[in-house]
Structure 1
């Protein structure tokens, strides 16, 4: 049985009915890809509609294949920390589901453990480690403050790499046919 493991950790709307239909289409086309993890989350990138759309477009362009989030944000919102093989449906700023992402690599670590390769895989700004550090500092200070906390560079971060697996026209890694 498939279930939604968690909803968005932010206040943007989410069309969970449309997300369930997208998941059903993916699962019907590639049942073997969901054996390890039949649950999925419905989320968006960032903490605003503008940022959700901006980051989703970078994913759709093929430049973004990684993301980073504070462990404390997952915990504060009751969301599970991703695991390798888990799926999430990324929505745009209006809450419409656009793609299904599958986690391919995970690492936990502090801010200083981010490297140039990870920054490049995130594909944001100019792709440099310096811009990654600058923009993520700003972001994590803002989201920590929104939940009444103070962000520290020592806070644990989930460094996640992913592939886009659905719909087929956006898939970055072909899913084996049935």
Structure 2
């Protein structure tokens, strides 16, 4: 647990450092989308949480968003978390992820998730569970951790 100060108010929170994407340029691009308000959600493979011994995020958690240079460029607060099968992702969520369209989201994520799961001997299907997480940008640039 850590302390966060926003506008003179101190709160206790769980913090995670997050860099979206797998390459330096992709991480910087996606971090900029968060700053612009064009990326307000993300998805991840539910199967990888126990393998990586990671806790699921909870509503209220604060994420420190990093760019490709590993600089924290902003903070977001988790507003919703749900498990959704890969085949049930819709265009609203795809756009919230910052991918512009469902077709673009599907092409990017089908390729990425297939590659990740293959390393563990698992095949991506429409029933593969994803953890879908929505977040909101914490607008106060003077916050300190």
TM-score, normalising length: structure 1? 0.70
Following TM superposition, by how much is the alpha carbon of 1:31 offset from its aligned partner in structure 2, in angstroms?
7.0
Q: Does 1:34 align with 2:11?
A: yes
Is contact 2:7-2:140 (8 Å) kept?
no
1:12 is aligned to: none
Where is the strand percentage greater, Structure 1 or Structure 2?
A: 2
**SS of residue paired to 2:75:** strand
Change (3 A) 1:162 1:44: same
- The runs of at least 4 consecutive aligned structure 1 residues that moved more than 4 Å come to 30-33
For residue 164 of structure 1, report the CA deviation from its aligned partner: 1.0
Match of 2:54 in 1: 79
Aligned to 1:18: none
Alignment of 1:19-168 (within 5 A): 27-29=4-6, 34-35=11-12, 38-124=13-99, 127-145=100-118, 147-153=119-125, 154-168=127-141
> SS of 2:74's equivalent?
strand
Task: Select the structure that is richer in helix.
Answer: 1
Gaps of 5+ in 1: 3-23, 170-178
> Aligned to 1:34, what secondary structure does the other structure show?
strand
TM-score normalised by length of structure 2:
0.85
Larger relative contact order (C-alpha < 8 A, sep ≥ 6)? 2
